[in-house]
Structure 1
Amino acid sequence: MEKVNSLEFVHGDLYGVAMDVVKKWVHKQNTRPVLQYAQHTVDGDIVATDSHRLIKIRKIHGFKEEYLVDPKHFNFAKGNYPNTEQLSSRDEHIETIVLSKEHIKLWLQLFKSMNQTLIIMKERMGIAKMCFKENHIEIELSVHKVIIQLPHEVYQKPDMDAVSFRVEYMRDALEAHMKMNSEQLTFNFRGPHKPMIMDDDRAVMTMILPVRTT
């Protein structure tokens, strides 16, 4: 790590930002205490999940052994964190959408607005459907008959028509990539009921489990 004035910093420059980001990704209840912590792996990654979504921030800390860190109170612990490698694997996933940094910012604003609209209308689950058309992508809030066409850098229609997910989770994923300075973002799909993986191929990977609506 970098040395300044005889000080050697243990973590990367964005470690504080990373720990602020993962606050939204840890489990909120006491039913699975280990998931209230962010895993710091021996290779410098931070992993957090609430069992419905997952974030991995790569090469951001400088600990020489694995620790679990509470991102809200910075308590340290040791424990058996779930193995998330298979869950977040991109094997058999198809690269479907690529966003530029400007697109990430625009999508984030759209999903923030959608989430706020759902809260105002007291839509408890806050589900959106991403529809894959031949030449474009649409987001549908079917309960309120709202359809928004989304911009993109690259788009290749996957072998599926749509996938449903919680708007809040997509907002948090886009916010994480924005705060961690993702220059671009690739969306990977393997089916309407398989994890959707978003990766900037550099610093941050996020994953959301779809919602079954039928």
Structure 2
Amino acid sequence: MHTASNPNIAVAIAAPDQAKAAAVPRIKLSSHGFCIDHPDPELGEQLMADAMGVADRDAMHGVLKQLVKASVSGEKSDEINLSFMISMVKNIKPRDSVEAMLVAQMVCVHVMAMRCAYHLANAEDIAQQDSAGRTLGRLARTFPAQIEALNRYRSNGEPAITVQNVSVGDGGKAIVGNVTQHVSVIVSNNNGAPAVTDAPMVSMPDRGAQEHEPADAKRGAQS
């Protein structure tokens, strides 16, 4: 038995006691624009603002308007596509206006990439294949860059550095980062191979001197 999804009913995949709290009101589209479909308009706007990660009504409506335009399919906005985009924004959980804008861009890039994938699969000639393939490649490279930008913003711009199993000998110094002198750390990796050590530099004797030293000593002994 197959059932078709009803675009007018929001379904939250959550426990029954969490479904009501997790539900986000749907957007109702019309020829005049859009509105938040909720019996309590004020509560509906608050729920949508929380989902968008913004603090005021103007920012919420601005992000929604941009998502409505990006959801266009066949020269008109698509409620199902728009609901998917809003759901993805909510699941990523933007925490401020900067994250709200970036997450909205991420969702739009994903939707556009999927459209390009569809056009590529249904291309009728080489020109269409090349155009869709190039655009899909650019969008596919943009999406992970946006994820990295979001992660860096959430970590205050500091990249995460993980160092495991650091062992420093007596008198040595452990330095993590770029250095301008000959220093190093004993760091054991997964296969147990040690890295460079912070041992003092020892000058190697000249091989030529080693070769002539026995002969010179022998001549001195004979004399």
Give the TM-score range, shorter chain: under 0.3
- TM-score (ref. length: structure 2): 0.21
Compare relative contact order (CA 8 Å, sep 6+) and give the higher one, 1 or 2: 1
- Which one has the bigger strand percentage? 1
- TM-score (ref. length: structure 1): 0.22
- Which one has the bigger helix percentage? 2
